[in-house]
Amino acid sequence: MEAEERRARQKAAQFNMCSTAISSVETALLPLSTCKIFFVDSIKVYLRAVIAQFVAAEPSTAPPVLPQLPIAGTPPATAIPVVIPRNLTKATAPIPPRSTWATVTRAGPQKSGAQAPANITSVSAALSARKPEKKPAVATTASKDDRIFLRLDANHEWRQLSPAGVREAVAKQTHCSPSDIDQVQRVPTGFAIRAKNPDAETRILEASSTFTQVEAKLEPPSDLDSLRIATVPVAVFDLEGRVEVTAKMMAAKILRVTNCTPDRVRIHRKTKPGAPYRSWGALFPRNASPKLGFRLFDDSGVATIQRNRPPIQ
């Protein structure tokens, strides 16, 4: 009996000391409970588990090994609240996306090794069945220039005429009807005339010799390639001093560089007074035209094909 009473007193003293230790730790952690309540509660739970295991194993020289989780015989501890996110959704099978224009477009072209989904393939097949088949584009060749050019001098009186006046003058000179001329357009060298049909074009060209009486020339479109050489210096300096670049000098320079003789060389468009550079145009027979990209001077541009500006709509 004495041994049991002594053991009971010893257990009561141990429980008193453990309660004092737990109360002291909880009092020390109380100011920290406001900001880190989860961490403080965890410390309390594990502290009680350690003390309970220590009391159950009785004091010994070697400290006991604490398990990863509290044992079943531990006193009830404070429950740790767990925050469950509100946006947590149930694990359900994914709903197949609805096939729309947007999904088909986002899917993009399928690779050769990959297999397209069945729903997208069916939608694509249905859409392709609805669309009418496009006919393959037929390769067309460059349209032939069917204009007739009326060449006039810079001071010719016909340059003051309107397109309607030129139509009347050409019809009177060629003894044709004005209705045979479909269109008259002003060009830098005079006027461009488009006949109503090939027969009218032939009749107008047959009377081209009569235009010498009015100091004009009527001719079909020339079979020449027009090249543009930009940023050619206005003058060069040699042993004789400053020499202005002329059409004759340009023709000789082109012949020396390309071994091709131009049919005509002239200044391309107007140049601002005092500008150090200007552009030149060179006309070559189509079967004897040089390759593009040649350069005449060190600071001049390369030769390019001259294209007419698109008309203003």
Please name the CATH architecture into which domain 147-219 falls: 2-Layer Sandwich (3.30)
Cβ contact 279:268 at 8 Å: yes
Spell out the per-residue pLDDT of the chain, length 313, in tens: 777 888 788 778 777 787 887 788 777 777 766 666 777 777 778 777 777 777 776 655 466 565 665 554 555 555 555 555 555 455 555 666 566 666 666 666 655 544 545 455 555 565 555 655 555 444 444 467 788 999 999 899 999 999 999 999 999 999 999 999 999 999 988 999 999 999 999 999 999 999 999 999 999 887 788 899 999 999 999 888 999 999 999 999 999 999 999 988 988 888 888 889 999 999 898 888 899 999 998 888 899 987 765 554 3
Distance CA 223, CA 149 (A): 13
DSSP 211: G
Report how far apart, in Å, the C-alpha atoms of 22 and of each of 27, 278, 297 are.
9, 100, 100
SS3 content of the chain, % helix, strand, coil (to 5): 40, 20, 45
The span from the first CA to the last CA of the chain, in angstroms, equals 123
- Is pTM, for the whole model, over 0.85? no
What strand order describes the sheet that includes 181-187?
A: 181-187, 190-195, 147-151, 217-219
Cβ contact 170:214 at 8 Å: no
**H/E run at residue 231:** strand 224-233
Please report, for the chain, the start and end positions of each structural domain, with discontinuous segments joined by +. 2-57, 147-219, 224-305
